[in-house]
Amino acid sequence: MSVLMPQLLRGLTGLTQRLPVQRAQIHSKPPWEQLRTMDVAVGLTSCFLCFLLPSGWVLSHLESYKKRE
């Protein structure tokens, strides 16, 4: 390692300590409409179909992927 490396690292970390941190002004309000049961059911079903079903299919057919034909 170079002799200048510690000085370079100290300079970089000192630079980040001087930068101002911007904080988001987030204010939450109650929703205008409550989610209905059907909305929740549609959302959960679509998440299941999009994410869990393909990964489950791949995991169930993992042995066939390991075989070389």
pTM: predicted TM-score of the whole model, two decimal places:
0.47
- pLDDT for the residue 50: 95
Location of structure tokens 């299919």: 57
> Given pLDDT bands bounded at 50, 70 and 90, which one contains residue 40?
very high
Q: What is the Cα–Cα distance from 12 to 10, expressed in whole angstroms?
A: 5
Rounded CA Rg of the chain: 26
Q: Could you give the maximum distance between any two Cα atoms of the chain, in Å?
A: 65
